[in-house]
Amino acid sequence: MKKIIICLMSMVMVISFAACGNYMNVNNQNACIVDGNEKIVVSYGDIESNFIIMLNEMGYDNISVYNTDDIPDRVLENRKGKNITIVERVIGKVTNLDKNGDGIILSTSDSTYNYISYRGLDFETNDETIILSYLVYNPDTNYTDDIVERYDFPLDREYED
């Protein structure tokens, strides 16, 4: 029986890793593909806990946080009037700070729509700074691109140039 359970758990892990693209959570550590290599970056657990408390204090209710690739369209398209707050968690890195604050989203498997701008942040960054961003969707509409607030946090500076 133990062998069957171990085999099933192994299959689930393999499928999970194959589907996650550039970002995955492994043993409460965040593994990202940085410059073609898998790297472990700092955990965002404490930041996220404090962030959710802050959102609650601001009056947001029923907060659900999703990774970029995990937000179901049906949730975004049907949130109006349901007293829920959808938040997208984005892990990215600065790719060209000198030009425009260009960045790339690491927490998506979509290589076409993975751009993010880090222009105008209120903390210092360099190329290769790993940044955690939270995008708060407007709870009063069903528009899939209606983000009312964005919060950015430096997550990892180990890979900076």
* Confidence at 42, pLDDT banded by 50, 70, 90: confident
- How distant, in Å, are the alpha carbons of 54, 64, 99, 111, 130 from that of 138? 16, 13, 30, 26, 26
Residue 89: HSE in the Cβ half-sphere, 13 Å Cα cutoff? 20
Q: From CA 20, how far away is CA 108, in angstroms rounded?
A: 8
Identify the residue whose tokens are 């983000």.
147
- At 35 the pLDDT is 62
Q: Which of 66, 42, 63, 68 is nearest to 51 (CA)?
A: 63
What's residue 121's pLDDT? 92
Model confidence over 82-141: pLDDT tens digits?
999 999 999 999 998 777 789 999 988 888 989 999 998 999 999 999 999 999 999 999
Tens digits of per-residue pLDDT, 5-27?
Answer: 343 343 333 333 333 334 444 44
